[in-house]
Amino acid sequence: MNIDTTQPWGIALDYAGRATVTENGHTVHIRVYDNSLSDSLQPDPLTGVYPSVHVSARLSESGDDDAVLRGFGEVTVAPTGTSPVTPDQNAAANAVAAALADFETRRAAHAALCATWDPSGAATGTTTGTTAP
């Protein structure tokens, strides 16, 4: 993924912290958010620590017969001491790489399952179409 060094998080985000990129032929949706309940970034009143920022990436591809494969990646950027989180320009790229790796892992597992599955049930020792005595 190309990192835009003019952007604090390495990618141009919309007003809600979202972006969409195309990587390795996939459309990947990115989201940057914190876990606070406030609309402004403030330290936690109990701990005095600012919230962590999460950078997530997700993708999905649809196939025949409503088959869907997904990939998900997330990077958490923690604050340092009592200061707010410093934007990490590599966080989005790392989340996208994790999502693509997760997608590939799931794709390979699905392909392996399809290659070994026997619809007759013979491979698992089960039978189909029989009733108990």
Q: Give the pLDDT confidence of 14-35 residue by residue, as tens digits.
A: 999 999 999 999 999 999 998 7
- The two three-digit tokens of residue 2, written as one number: 């190309």
Q: What is the Cα–Cα distance from 102 to 56, expressed in whole angstroms?
A: 13
Q: What is the pLDDT of residues 71-112, one digit of tens each?
A: 999 999 999 888 889 999 999 999 999 999 999 999 999 999
| Sequence-ordered list of residues with C-beta below 8 angstroms from that of 11, at least 6 positions apart, any chain | 3, 4, 19, 21, 30, 92
Give, in degrees to the nearest 5, the angle at Cα 54 between 49 and 55.
150
| Sequence-ordered list of residues with C-beta below 8 angstroms from that of 47, at least 6 positions apart, any chain | none
Note the pTM of the prediction, 2 decimals: 0.81
- The two three-digit tokens of residue 87, written as one number: 């934007």
Residue type, 132: A
